[in-house]
C-alpha cells in the first residue's frame, strides 16, 4: 500500500469515527427529548428524566473526548508517533 492509499484509508477511518459520534449525538438528543416529554406528561413534579440524561451524558462526554480530545493523544496513531519520536532522539 502506498502513502497516498494509506492516508486515504486513515482519513476514511477517521470520518467513520466522527460519523459514529454524530450518530450518537443524534440518538442522545432524541431519546432524551422523548424521556423529557414522557416525564412532563406522566409525572411533571418529579424530574426523573435528569438521571438518564446525566448518566448517558457522562458516557457521551467520554465519547466526545475520545473522538476530539484525549483520544488524539493516546489514539491508534499514538504508538506510531511515539516510535518515530524515540527513533529521532537516538
Q: Is the pLDDT of residue 83 over 90?
A: no
For the chain, the domain total comes to: 1
Give the integer Cα–Cα distance in Å for 49 and 37. Answer: 9
Helix %, strand %, coil % for the chain, to 5?
85, 0, 15
- The parent domain of residue 60 ranges over 3-89
Burial level of 63, CB count in 10 A (0-12/13-18/19+)?
Answer: middle
Q: Is the pLDDT of residue 79 over 80?
A: no
Give the integer Cα–Cα distance in Å for 77 and 42. Answer: 49
If pLDDT is split at 50, 70 and 90, which confidence band does 74 have?
A: low
Set of cell numbers at residue 73: 493523544
Give SS3 for 33: helix
If pLDDT is split at 50, 70 and 90, which confidence band does 28 have?
A: very high
pLDDT digits (tens, 9 = 90+) for 36-58: 999 999 999 999 999 999 999 99
Amino acid at each position: 500500500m502506498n502513502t497516498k492509499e494509506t492516508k486515504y484509508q486513515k482519513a476514511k477511518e477517521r470520518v467513520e469515527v466522527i460519523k459514529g459520534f454524530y450518530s450518537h449525538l443524534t440518538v442522545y438528543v432524541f431519546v432524551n427529548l422523548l424521556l423529557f416529554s414522557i416525564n412532563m406528561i406522566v409525572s411533571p413534579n418529579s424530574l426523573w428524566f435528569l438521571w438518564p440524561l446525566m448518566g448517558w451524558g457522562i458516557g457521551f462526554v467520554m465519547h466526545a473526548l475520545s473522538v476530539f480530545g484525549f483520544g488524539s493523544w493516546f489514539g491508534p496513531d499514538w504508538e506510531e508517533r511515539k516510535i518515530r519520536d524515540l527513533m529521532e532522539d537516538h
